[in-house]
């Protein structure tokens, strides 16, 4: 019997996915699956504890870049020469490796994050192509991979501190769907970017807290959902919440056509899917556009890390053909 050599083994796709949120995490992605566990910065911190604050806001850009590089170096240890791409998912408007806007991480605005991280990784002998994507696009890529839809066009709404809108496959463009205008009421000015009538200004966690200074979002929906004597103000907002998401979704359908929408994020707990479908049905009346689908899925770091890596792999492959 002939002994197998390394050359006889099938080649594996080895990429690294990095995600920035209220902390940084990174993992080695082999054939679109996480190998081992995610590494996090700050180190030795339980992910549940990180939900109580956003330590990233206080970190200067140089410290963020250094933390990303440290994690990638640790994840790549022993695989440096076989890493085919590194994907970094960042909340904000990212184009050509530059963070043009980052309302939730304002210190990153204007940062040439791709060049800064690439320079740091080169010093550690890691020369893999680097791709920086919006975190919602990373979520879309991760869900496409996990659900076996890498050959399909999908869209994702992420309901959290802000409102993320992600697409897969990644395309050139702005794609700041959370800032689409869903209201012409001049009083709707709660969006963190300062714009009026934005979807995020209604549904974003920060915006809801500003709107109800005397109640937390959880209390608002609890009061709205009371079987007996629901609070009228809270019930009215619950309907506004769902109309706003339906409006954003309907606009996307009217621009790009029907298709699959995933719904995720920690504020999915507030969503009444039947109410959303009812409002959406009222807004999309062309029969050829009514074949859209909505699916609620869990939001987790692993999916985002896989998505960052898959998006990087997709962009690297696409660019190599140009």
The reported pLDDT for the residue numbered 8 is: 39
Superfamily of domain 6-134: ATPase, nucleotide binding domain (3.30.420.40)
Collapse the DSSP code of 128 into the 3-class scheme (helix H, G, I; strand E, B; otherwise coil) and give the result: coil
Mean pLDDT of the chain: 89
The reported pLDDT for the residue numbered 123 is: 93
Q: Looking at the predicted structure, is the pLDDT value of residue 52 above 80?
A: no
Task: In whole angstroms, give the CA distance from residue 211 to residue 16.
Answer: 39
Q: Looking at the predicted structure, is the pLDDT value of residue 25 above 90?
A: yes
Record the tokens describing residue 302, joined without a space: 């692993």
| 141-296 has the same fold as 6-134 | yes
Q: Calculate mean pLDDT across residues 59-74.
A: 95
> In this structure, are residues 41 and 50 in contact, taking their beta carbons and an 8 Å threshold?
no
> In this structure, are residues 235 and 266 in contact, taking their beta carbons and an 8 Å threshold?
no
Domain 141-296 CATH class label? alpha beta
Q: Where are the domains of the chain?
A: 6-134, 141-296
| Residue 100 burial by Cβ neighbours in a 10 Å radius (0-12, 13-18, 19+) | middle
Q: Using pLDDT thresholds of 50, 70 and 90, give the confidence band for residue 47.
A: very low
pLDDT in tens, 82-97: 999 999 999 888 988 9
Task: In whole angstroms, give the CA distance from residue 312 to residue 128.
Answer: 10
The reported pLDDT for the residue numbered 296 is: 95
The reported pLDDT for the residue numbered 317 is: 80
Q: Calculate mean pLDDT across residues 294-312.
A: 93
Q: Using pLDDT thresholds of 50, 70 and 90, give the confidence band for residue 149.
A: confident
The reported pLDDT for the residue numbered 13 is: 84
């Amino acid at each position: 019997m002939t002994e197998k050599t390394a050359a006889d083994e099938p080649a594996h796709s080895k990429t690294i996915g990095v995600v920035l949120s209220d902390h940084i995490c990174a993992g080695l992605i082999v054939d679109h699956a996480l190998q081992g566990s995610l590494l996090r910065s700050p180190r030795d911190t339980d992910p549940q504890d990180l939900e109580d604050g956003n330590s990233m806001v206080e970190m200067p850009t140089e410290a963020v870049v250094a933390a990303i590089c440290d994690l990638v170096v640790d994840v790549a240890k022993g695989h440096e020469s076989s890493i085919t791409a590194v994907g970094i998912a960042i909340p904000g408007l990212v184009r050509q490796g530059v963070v043009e806007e980052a309302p939730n991480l304002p210190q990153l605005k204007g940062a040439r994050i791709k060049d800064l991280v690439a320079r740091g990784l080169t010093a550690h002998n890691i020369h893999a192509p680097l791709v920086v994507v919006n975190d919602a696009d990373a979520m879309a890529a991760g869900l496409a991979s996990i659900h076996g839809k890498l050959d399909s066009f999908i869209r994702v709404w992420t309901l959290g501190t802000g409102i993320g809108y992600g697409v897969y496959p990644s395309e050139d463009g702005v794609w700041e769907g959370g800032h689409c205008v869903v209201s012409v009421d001049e009083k709707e000015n709660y969006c963190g970017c300062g714009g009026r009538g934005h979807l995020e200004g209604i549904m974003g966690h920060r915006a809801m807290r500003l709107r109800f200074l005397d109640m937390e979002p959880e209390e608002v929906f609890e009061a709205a959902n009371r079987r007996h004597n629901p609070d009228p103000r809270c019930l009215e907002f619950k309907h506004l919440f769902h109309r706003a998401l339906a409006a954003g979704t309907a606009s996307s359908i009217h621009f790009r056509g029907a298709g699959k929408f995933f719904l995720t994020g920690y504020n999915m707990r507030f969503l009444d899917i039947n109410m959303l479908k009812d409002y959406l049905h009222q807004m999309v009346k062309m029969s050829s556009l009514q074949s859209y689908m909505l699916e609620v899925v869990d939001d987790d770091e692993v999916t985002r890390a896989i998505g960052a890596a898959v998006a990087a792999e997709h962009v690297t492959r696409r660019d190599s053909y140009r």
